[in-house]
């Protein structure tokens, strides 16, 4: 799984911070937008809560090449979260983009997200939506 995430993160498709809506901190994606995940069931709010917690945990660790697994025991959905690239500054805060896998049954999809560090040091997820190849 980690090798796939590294390959996706370093492949020919890039995620541009300046033009990508997911990196703009003023925009928050609703769960309804995640209903567009192709090829399987959409993540539940519970699934998203587990994925967000995993994202916050892995970003807090700050390791360059780390991944954090997550699983929702109620739905059986699972995945992992891997930070992409280095941290950057947005609106005076330290931010970072990440990619999350979402596996439910035989269906596997990818979500892209952005998070910024709060003044208390906790990473806050600002967007999480279906990943689109660049």
103-107: average pLDDT: 92
Residue 19 has pLDDT above 80, yes or no: no
Sign for the CA dihedral angle at 27, 33, 38, 42 comes to: positive
Per-residue exposure over 63-82, b if at least 16 CB sit within 10 Å of its own CB, e if not: eeeebbebbbeeeebbbbbb
Please, what is the Cα angle at 55 between 24 and 23, to 5 degrees? 10
- For 24, phi and psi rounded to 5 degrees? -80, 120
The number of beta carbons lying within 10 Å of the beta carbon of residue 7 is 9
Instruction: Give tens-digit pLDDT for 2-14.
Output: 334 333 443 333 3
pLDDT of residue 128: 87
Residue 117 has pLDDT above 50, yes or no: yes
Q: Strand runs (DSSP E) across the chain, as ranges?
A: 68-71, 78-90, 93-104, 107-117, 123-130
What pTM does this model have? 0.69
Instruction: Give tens-digit pLDDT for 24-65.
Output: 333 334 444 444 445 677 889 999 999 999 999 999 988 778
Give every strand in the sheet of 107-117, ordered side by side. 68-71, 78-90, 93-104, 107-117, 123-130
């Amino acid at each position: 799984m980690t090798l796939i995430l590294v390959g996706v993160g370093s492949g020919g498709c890039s995620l541009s911070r300046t033009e990508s809506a997911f990196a703009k901190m003023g925009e928050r994606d609703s769960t309804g937008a995640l209903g567009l995940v192709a090829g399987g069931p959409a993540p539940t709010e519970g699934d998203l809560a587990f994925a967000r917690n995993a994202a916050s945990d892995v970003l807090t660790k700050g390791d360059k090449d780390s991944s954090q697994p997550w699983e929702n025991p109620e739905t059986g959905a699972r995945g992992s979260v891997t930070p992409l690239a280095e941290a950057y500054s947005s609106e005076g805060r330290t931010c970072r983009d990440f990619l999350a896998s979402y596996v439910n049954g035989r269906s596997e999809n990818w979500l892209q997200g952005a998070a910024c560090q709060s003044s208390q040091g906790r990473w806050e997820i600002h967007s999480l939506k279906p990943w689109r190849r660049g």
